[in-house]
Structure formats: structure tokens, C-alpha cells
């Protein structure tokens, strides 16, 4: 867990995670992840124009970011993670979205509780 969350911003970084990473999904979010060998996590958010106008997209992005910030302590380090919003995300409130993201993380090797 770090104090500052490093964001993925460059399109080639997104493409690298999309093409080489693994994914899990639910009705609100698709999560792509892959190891980055950096010793810290980087996160990116993708919210399509299909979701709504800029006010709605930015709100969704803020909700995703805050949910990730709160769940960061449950995630192992050394991964690039991208969250892609799906259409139904507009209907979700903050707690629903956070629980949805937690369930996605728990399905993956990123979750701290998945020590094997």
C-alpha cells in the first residue's frame, strides 16, 4: 500500500495491459490486470462516451478511483490494473460499486487473502 496511487495514463500502457493481461468482469466493471515488476501498483480507468456526458463520466471515474483507494490495502503490489466501466455503472451507488470491485479483486491473484 502506498500513499499515492500511480495512474496509468499513456495509451500504449493501456494497450499492453489489454493485450497481455487477464480480465474478470461483472455487471458494472471489467477489470484487466497484469504483473508490472515495479514493486508498486498502477491503476487506470476507462469510461466510454457510451456511459453518458462528461459530468456523468467524470463522476463514474471519481467513484472508481475512490473505491480503489479504499480497497488498495487488500491488493498485492506489483500489478497494473485497469477498470473499464460498463453501461449499468450509472445505476450503481458508491457502496454497490465498491462491493462489486471487491468481489472482482477477490476472484484474482491480486487479493491479499488469496495466499496459496
Residue 112: the pLDDT is 85
pTM of the model: 0.91
Is the C-alpha dihedral spanning 50, 51, 55, 57 positive or negative?
A: negative
Cβ(21)–Cβ(88) below 8 Å: no
What CATH number was assigned to the domain covering residues 6-109? 3.30.230.10
What pLDDT, on a 0 to 100 scale, did the predictor assign at position 1?
Answer: 46
The owner of cell 496511487 is 5
What SS3 class is residue 7?
Answer: strand
In the structure grid, which three cell numbers stand for residue 111, read together?
487479493
Contact in structure between 83 and 31 (CB atoms under 8 Å): yes
Mean pLDDT for back-to-back runs of 10 residues, the chain (116 residues): 80 96 96 93 95 95 94 91 95 94 93 72
Give the bridge partners for 81, in sequence order: 33, 43
Amino acid at each position: 500500500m502506498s500513499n499515492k496511487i500511480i495512474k496509468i495514463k499513456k495509451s500504449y500502457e493501456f494497450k499492453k495491459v489489454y493485450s497481455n493481461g487477464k480480465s474478470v468482469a461483472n455487471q458494472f466493471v471489467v477489470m484487466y490486470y497484469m504483473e508490472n515488476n515495479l514493486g508498486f501498483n498502477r491503476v487506470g480507468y476507462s469510461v466510454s462516451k457510451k456511459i453518458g456526458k462528461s459530468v456523468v463520466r467524470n463522476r463514474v471515474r471519481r467513484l472508481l478511483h475512490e473505491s480503489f483507494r479504499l480497497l488498495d490495502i487488500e491488493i498485492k503490489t506489483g500489478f497494473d490494473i485497469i477498470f473499464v466501466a460498463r453501461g449499468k455503472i450509472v445505476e450503481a451507488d458508491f457502496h454497490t460499486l465498491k462491493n462489486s470491485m471487491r468481489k472482482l479483486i477477490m476472484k484474482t491473484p491480486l487479493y491479499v487473502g488469496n495466499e496459496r
